[in-house]
């Protein structure tokens, strides 16, 4: 197909934190407390081509998991447009939306909490394809056996319960469940974070083999740059709800342009050379309840100037396919003349 398979245009996701009972009571006497708004995702533009593997990276609390859930249709966007194969998901018919929901599957971090402990694997994996009419009920058992084989599990285990498997095997069950509805796009949210390093490598290899065999597209969400480095075609860096840099994996690791990306790379233990060049990241990510004005990164940025505190930097193309949002690449960080 031509054009991206998935596009986000100015997508934001906000959550409202309701007032507690004491604040509501105080409001009866004119205290004026207001509900607080969490800006989890703030105006994200992103286009993903069919067959591409995009790594979405940032610290815990940067909004990457929320963005993944918006992509997977679990959370509706508060504003902006999500397009699947060019069509806005918000204007799809019920039938089109159902097809898109099946085509985009999410694989979660903790397989144990995302697998129903009271269901056998044959039902965990086989229920959705039967319910959605992809497989006749009579063929469910054989279909599940084939799915388990595809993800490297012994099909004879299909009558077991999740607690009878190791962490790596449960991760494979989660992948089999997603594959069972014949998706084209997988959103993997920290899908290997809970696994030992050797098991991580096996599951990452499985993802890449499935990409080759089935032509899958991936949005691979991780806080760990070393995990996404080897499997991503492109890496997108997020900070406090915004995309701050996006480039091919090789360009980003060779020459990160945003101070936040540089700091993240300095924290990757295997990249000794980067550690020498860039200051490691200090401090905590601010609360998305009260994001700093201007560039969200300015309280932690070693290169911040007066302009950074008041003006949001726009994403600018620095080289073909390489964009970053930093005033250093757009006239400097000094105060703008009035
Ligand atoms: Fe740092 Fe300013 Fe660039 Fe933000 S805009 S990353 S604060 S230099």
pLDDT of 2 reads: 62
**Which atom of ligand 1 approaches the CA of 313 most closely?**
5
- Model pTM score: 0.89
- For residue 36, the CA-to-ligand 1 centroid distance in Å is 26
Cβ proximity of 223 and 57 under 8 Å: yes
Whether ligand 1 lies within 6 angstroms of the CB of 263 is answered as no
Alpha-helical segments (H) within the chain? 21-27, 64-71, 94-103, 111-114, 121-131, 140-150, 167-179, 197-214, 225-229, 249-254, 259-266, 272-277
As a whole number of angstroms, the distance between CA 66 and CA 39 comes to 10
**Ligand 1 pocket mutation pick from 292, 302, 333 by most atoms within 8 angstroms of CB:** 333
End-to-end CA distance of the chain: 48
- For residue 103, the CA-to-ligand 1 centroid distance in Å is 38
Whether ligand 1 lies within 6 angstroms of the CB of 330 is answered as no
DSSP single-letter state for residue 293: S
- For residue 328, the CA-to-ligand 1 centroid distance in Å is 7
pLDDT of 129 reads: 96
Of the candidates 194, 139, 147, 186, the residue with the CA atom closest to the CA atom of residue 166: 194
As a whole number of angstroms, the distance between CA 312 and CA 240 comes to 13
Whether ligand 1 lies within 6 angstroms of the CB of 301 is answered as yes
pLDDT of 268 reads: 67
pLDDT of 195 reads: 84
- Whose alpha carbon is nearest atom 8 of ligand 1? 304
H or E element at residue 15:
strand 6-17
Q: Domain 4-118+161-329 in CATH: superfamily?
A: P-loop containing nucleotide triphosphate hydrolases (3.40.50.300)
Cα within 13 Å of Cα(216), Cβ side: 27
Whether ligand 1 lies within 6 angstroms of the CB of 237 is answered as no
Whether ligand 1 lies within 6 angstroms of the CB of 299 is answered as no
pLDDT of 279 reads: 58
**Which atom of ligand 1 approaches the CA of 296 most closely?**
4
Collect the ranges in the chain with pLDDT lower than 50. 1, 271-276, 338
- For residue 243, the CA-to-ligand 1 centroid distance in Å is 13
Of the candidates 156, 95, 127, 122, the residue with the CA atom closest to the CA atom of residue 135: 127
């Amino acid at each position: 197909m031509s054009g991206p398979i998935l596009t986000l245009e100015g997508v934001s996701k906000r959550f409202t934190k309701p007032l507690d009972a004491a604040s509501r009571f105080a409001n009866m006497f004119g205290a004026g407390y207001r509900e607080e708004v969490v800006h989890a995702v703030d105006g994200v533009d992103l286009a993903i081509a069919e067959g591409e593997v995009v790594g979405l990276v940032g610290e815990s609390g940067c909004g990457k998991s929320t963005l993944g859930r918006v992509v997977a249709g679990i959370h509706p966007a508060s504003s902006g447009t999500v397009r699947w194969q060019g069509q806005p998901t918000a204007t799809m018919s019920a039938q089109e939306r159902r097809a898109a929901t099946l085509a985009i599957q999410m694989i979660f971090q903790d397989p144990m909490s995302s697998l129903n402990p009271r269901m056998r694997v044959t039902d965990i994996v086989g229920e959705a394809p039967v319910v959605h009419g992809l497989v006749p009920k009579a063929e469910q058992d054989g279909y599940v056996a084939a799915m388990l084989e595809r993800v490297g599990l012994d099909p004879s285990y299909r009558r077991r319960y999740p607690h009878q498997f190791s962490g790596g095997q449960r991760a494979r069950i989660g992948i089999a469940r997603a594959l069972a509805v014949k998706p084209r796009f997988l959103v993997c949210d920290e899908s290997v974070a809970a696994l030992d390093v050797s098991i991580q490598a096996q599951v990452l290899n499985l993802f890449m083999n499935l990409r080759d065999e089935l032509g899958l597209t991936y949005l691979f969400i991780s806080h760990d740059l070393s995990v996404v480095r080897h499997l991503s075609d492109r890496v997108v860096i997020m900070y406090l709800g915004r995309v701050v840099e996006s480039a091919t994996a090789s360009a980003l690791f060779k020459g990160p342009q945003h101070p936040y990306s540089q700091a993240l790379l300095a924290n990757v233990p295997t990249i000794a050379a980067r550690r020498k060049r860039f200051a490691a990241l200090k401090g905590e990510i601010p609360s998305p309840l009260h994001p700093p004005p201007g560039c969200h990164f300015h309280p932690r940025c070693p290169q911040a100037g007066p302009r950074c505190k008041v003006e949001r930097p726009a994403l600018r193309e620095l080289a073909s396919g390489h964009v970053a949002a930093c005033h250093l690449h757009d006239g400097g960080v000094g105060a703008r003349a009035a």
